[in-house]
Amino acid sequence: MKQRSFSPSSSSFISLCAALLLGAPSLANATPATMIPVPSSLSYAADSLPLGHGLVPQVEGPGSARVQQALARLDATWSRRLGGKSLTPGAGAPYLKLHYASNGPAIPVLGEDESYSLSVDASGVDIRAATDLGILRGLATLTQLPRATDQAWTLPCLRIQDSPRFAWRGLMLDVARHWMPLEVVLRNLDAMALVKLNVLHLHLSEDQGFRIESLTHPELHIQGSDGHYFTQEQIRTIIREAALRGIRVVPEFDIPGHATSWVVSHPELASLPGPYKIEREWGIFDPVLDPTKEATYALLADVLGEMCALFPDPYFHIGGDENNGVQWNANPDIQAFIREHQLVDNPGLHAHFNQRVAALLAKHGKKVMGWDEILHPKLPAQALIQSWRGPDGVREAAKAGHPVVLSNGYYIDLCYPASDHYLNDPLPEGNGLTPEQQALVLGGEATMWAEWVNPDTVDSRIWPRTAAIAERLWSPPTARDTASLYPRLDTVSDWFEAGGSLLRLPLERAVTELSGSALPEVREAVRCVLNTVEPIKRYRRGQAQPEGNQLAPLNTLADCVFPEARLARQFREAADSYLCGPDSDKGAALAALRGQLAQWRQASDLVLRSPSPALRARWELDRAARTLAELAALGQELLEAIEGGTTPGTAQVDKAKALLERAAKTNSSATEFRFLISLRRLLAVASAPTQFTSLSPEARRRLLEQRVPHDSDLP
C-alpha cells in the first residue's frame, strides 16, 4: 500500500523519464547521415519511399550464398524492427535491385574491393558493386536506412558512393580469460557485418585457458580449458559464417608468454620447473615457454601446424606480449644460451624464438602477426605488428617496413567514452610517415579483453561503442563530429538488437530484478539511476573489487550499467552549452539541466523508498541513489545561485567540494558518476561569477578548462 505514495503523478514522472532517456530526436529524423559508418559520398533528395508493401528483390549477377544470406538477414532484421512485410516476391511493390559482376573469394582476403553504390528513388532501391562483397556492404547500409514517420516506415531517397578508408577493420574477442561460447561469436558476427567490420581476431590461448580442440595434442584443451573450448567443427562453423558476412578470421595463440594453459599439460617446456595450474586471477604471470629447447618447437610444429590447416587466413597471430622475463632471468641455462648464441639479452632471445616460429608458420604459407613486443630488426619484413602501447608503435613499425594495425585507443574493455575511440585515428595529422609508410598502416582493431565480461555482458561492452571505431576505420577522416555520432549510436543500437545482439540485456535484467513487480514509475526510476552511473575506467576495477577472478560471478552494479551512461553524457553536454555556448542556446540548456536534476532527485527518492532493500543493498544501488540525490540537489543550488546572482559562502563551497570528492572516490561497486566535471564547473562559476560573466563563450571555456580540466572526473 505504501508503494502508491511514491509519486503523486506517476504518468508525468514516466513521461519525464522517457523524454530524458531518449534524449535528442533520432538522427534518422533530424539530420542527413543516419547510418554508421557514414558513407564516403551521400546526397539526399526531398522524397521518400514507403515500405508498407516491402521490397521485391531482383538479383542481377552470378549466384552468391553470401548475397542470399545477407538478404535473409535484412528480411529478419526489418521484420523484427519494422513489423509486417519487408522483402516480398509479390508484384506491385518497389524493387530492390542488386547488380554485381562476379563473386569474391569464398574466404575473404585482405584488400578486396568493398566499394558499392546505393540509390533510392520512388521506384525502389538499386545497389551496384563489382563483387558480391560490395553488395554485402551496400545491404548493411540499407538495413539502417528506414525512418519512422507518422507511424509508417520509409526509406529516404538518396544516392551513395562508398568505399572503405582502411582494409583492416577488426574486432579482437578474448575467449580465453572468460569463456565465450559459439553463440556469442555468431551473434557478434552479425553485429560486425552491420557496421562493415571485416576481421574477427580470436584470442584463443591465455594463462586462464586453452580454448580450442587439438587433435594432435588433446592434453592441451583437456587439461587447460575446464572443459570450455571450441571443437574444430565449431571453428569451421565460425569461419564459414564469418566468410558469408565478408569477415576474415585470424587466430591468436599467445606465446611465449601468457602461456600457463600450455604448460599445465607440458610443464617440461616452461622456463622453470612446474607443476602449473590454470590461473584464476588477472595480470602478468611468470610462466613462459623455454625457447632453448627443441621440444618446445616440436610441440609448436604439431599444434600450430594443425591450426594453420584449420584457419585459412594467411595471417597467424602469435601474441608475443608481456613476457616479464622473470623465468628467463632465473634460468642459468637460458642465460647461457643467450651468451653462446650472441643474442645479447632477453629481447634478443625473444627475437630468436619469433624467427623460429615464423619459419615454422611459413612452411604452411602463413605470415606472422603479433603485438608490439615482437618488433625487432630480425623479424621477417612481412610480419604484421598490432600496436597496443601507443602511436609510437605504429610509426616504428611502419618506418621499419612492417604492415601495422592500431589497437591503442580502441581498448573497449576499459569502458572509455565512444568519443575517445572515435577521435583516435590510425593515421592522425602530422603522423610523420611518408606516403609509402602510410600505406603500411592497414587499419585497426577494437579489443575486447575478457577479464570483466561474460557471455551475458560482453555485447553491452562491445556495442554500440565499437560502431564508432568501425566508422573511424571505414569513413573519411573528416567524419569527426561527435555531436552527430551519439544520436546515430542510439539508432544503430536498435538495429543491433533487431539483429540479435544482447547489448541491453544486462541493464534490463537488473531493472527487472531490482524493481520486481513494482509500479511502472519504480521501474523507470531504477532505469534512470542505472542510466546515470558507469563502470570505472582504466584498470581500476581490480582495485575496487580485488576478489574478482575467473570464477567470480559478474553480477554487480558495474556489470549491468553501460560503459557510457546516456543521462550523464547528456547532462555534460547541456552544462557545456549553458556555461560556454552562445547566449541563444543558454535558455534551452538551462531548462535541460533543471529537468535532468529534478528527474534524478525524484528517481532517487523512488528507488530508496521502493521494496526489497536487501536486494538493493546487494547491488549497492542505495549508495548510488543517495549520492545521485545529493549531487542533483547540489546542481540545483548552483544553478539557482548563478541565475540569481548570489555567491555561495565559504562553508557552502567547502561542503560542495567535500561532496564532489566523496562522490569521486572509488567504491566497492566499481561504478562512478561521469558528470562530476559539470558540477565542478558550475561550482567554479557560482563561486567567482565576476571572473566569468564578462568573458566570451570561448574565453569562458578556456578558463574553465584551466580551473577544471576535462579529465577531472578520473581520480
Which of the residues are catalytic? 322
From first CA to last CA, the distance across the chain in angstroms is 43
SS3 (DSSP) at 546:
coil
Q: Is the alpha carbon torsion for 388, 389, 394, 396 positive or negative?
A: negative
Q: Other CB atoms closer than 10 Å to residue 473's CB: what's the count?
A: 29
Distance CA 129, CA 406 (A): 28
- Indicate the burial class of 590 (C-beta count within 10 angstroms; 0-12, 13-18, 19 or more): middle
What's the count of helices (H) and strands (E) in the chain, helices before strands?
30, 18
- Cell triple for 638: 548552483
- In sequence order, the β-bridge partners of residue 43 are 159
Report phi then psi at 406, rounded to 5: -95, 135
Residues in contact with 439: Cβ distance below 8 Å, sequence separation at least 6, in sequence order: none
Dihedral-angle region of residue 578 (phi above 0 means left; psi in -120 to 50 means alpha; beta otherwise): alpha
Nearest residue to 467 (alpha-carbon basis) of 5, 50, 21, 35: 35
- Cell triple for 350: 625473444
Report phi then psi at 118, rounded to 5: -140, 130
544, 668 in Cβ contact below 8 A? yes
- What is the bridge-based pairing of β-strands 152-162 and 116-121? antiparallel
Nearest residue to 374 (alpha-carbon basis) of 338, 337, 404: 404
640, 594 in Cβ contact below 8 A? no
Distance CA 501, CA 134 (A): 24
Place of cell 562559476: 685
Q: Which residues of 21-58 are buried (b: 16+ CB within 10 A; e: fewer)?
A: eebeebbbeeeebbbbbbbbebeeeeebbebeebbbbe
Q: Within its chain, how far is the Cα of 366 from the centroid? A: 29
- Cell triple for 86: 519487408
Nearest residue to 238 (alpha-carbon basis) of 197, 202, 196: 202
244, 66 in Cβ contact below 8 A? yes
- What is the bridge-based pairing of β-strands 95-102 and 124-131? parallel
590, 615 in Cβ contact below 8 A? no
Residues in contact with 11: Cβ distance below 8 Å, sequence separation at least 6, in sequence order: none
Q: Which residues of 612-648 are buried (b: 16+ CB within 10 A; e: fewer)?
A: eeeebeebbbebbbebbbbbbebbbbbbebbeeeeeb
Report phi then psi at 264, rounded to 5: -60, -45
420, 362 in Cβ contact below 8 A? no
